[in-house]
């Protein structure tokens, strides 16, 4: 990384005023540089100076020294590959269902499964059918920046469905899988929203997710007894 010269600082200030956000695509960057000669060469020099950072092909953000706010990785996950929203292990940790801190941001998408290694960490995406994808995302915020993430119930359904190590054929198998293999807190399981679970089960139309709902209903019934 090289130190920015005066002209590069002026260029970055101009770009920031024109774009108005810290994360942007290649076309927005070209449009902001349309008044300059050889805009692609300028982009190359700004990348070398660390004034802008290439997140992936076609997606950029301003460098840390000139950025106006933090890069919210959850928001970035929605932008790297879409349509998508955060789910699976990362969402389970975010909602406090599992104790481990999850560094890799995991998402679901209607497109083919992909993984991206970026300057901001690894982002992985698992494909779901449109019907299964459509149920269960909500908008959360971090530092005033919105992002899409699965509800705790949908994140759990997505994890159970995509985990090929677990067949889910017998309802009795779920206790060991959820509490021991996934290390989900039992009280957190009891606190899940039954209507949201049934919505996820309806979208999945799968015995594996239906058995998950039945297990949780039995757990709740045992608590009330």
Integer-rounded Cα radius of gyration of the chain: 22
Q: What are phi and psi of 110, to 5 degrees?
A: -90, -5
Q: What is the pLDDT of residue 143?
A: 92
Of the options 1.10.287, 1.10.150, 1.10.3470, 1.10.10, the CATH number for the domain spanning 6-62: 1.10.10
Could you tell me where the beta strands, DSSP code E, fall in the chain?
Answer: 23-25, 52-56, 59-62, 84-86, 105-109, 114-118, 121-127, 137-142, 145-150
Sheet holding 59-62: strands in order across? 23-25, 59-62, 52-56
pLDDT tens by residue, 11-70: 898 999 999 999 999 999 999 999 888 999 999 999 999 999 999 999 999 999 899 899
Any idea what DSSP says for residue 115? E
Q: What is the pLDDT of residue 192?
A: 95
In the predicted model, is pLDDT for residue 1 greater than 60?
no
Coil/strand/helix, residue 74:
helix
Any idea what DSSP says for residue 171? G
Closest CA to 42 of 2, 66, 20, 11: 11
Alpha carbons 21 and 51: distance in angstroms, whole number: 14
Q: What is the pLDDT of residue 120?
A: 97
In the chain, CATH 1.10.10 covers 6-62
Closest CA to 206 of 163, 161, 146, 140: 161
Q: What is the pLDDT of residue 100?
A: 84
């Amino acid at each position: 990384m090289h130190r920015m010269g005066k002209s590069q600082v002026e260029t970055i200030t101009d770009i920031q005023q024109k774009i108005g956000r810290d994360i942007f695509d290649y076309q927005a960057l070209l449009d902001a540089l349309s008044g300059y000669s050889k805009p692609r060469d300028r982009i190359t020099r700004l990348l070398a100076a660390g004034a802008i950072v290439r997140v992936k092909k076609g997606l950029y953000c301003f460098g840390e020294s000139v950025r106006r706010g933090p890069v919210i990785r959850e928001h970035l996950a929605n932008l790297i590959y879409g349509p998508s929203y955060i789910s699976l292990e990362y969402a389970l940790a975010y909602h406090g269902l599992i104790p481990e801190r999850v560094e890799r941001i995991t998402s679901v998408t209607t497109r083919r499964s992909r993984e991206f290694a970026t300057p901001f960490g690894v982002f992985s995406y698992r494909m779901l059918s449109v019907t299964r994808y459509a149920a269960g995302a909500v908008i959360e915020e971090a530092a005033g920046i919105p992002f899409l993430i699965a509800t705790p119930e949908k994140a759990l359904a997505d994890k159970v469905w995509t985990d090929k190590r677990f067949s889910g054929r017998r309802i009795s198998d779920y206790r060991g899988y959820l509490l021991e293999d996934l290390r989900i807190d039992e009280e957190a399981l009891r606190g899940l929203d039954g209507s949201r679970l049934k919505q996820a089960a309806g979208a999945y139309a799968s015995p594996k997710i239906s058995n998950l709902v039945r297990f949780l209903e039995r757990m709740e019934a045992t608590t009330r007894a």
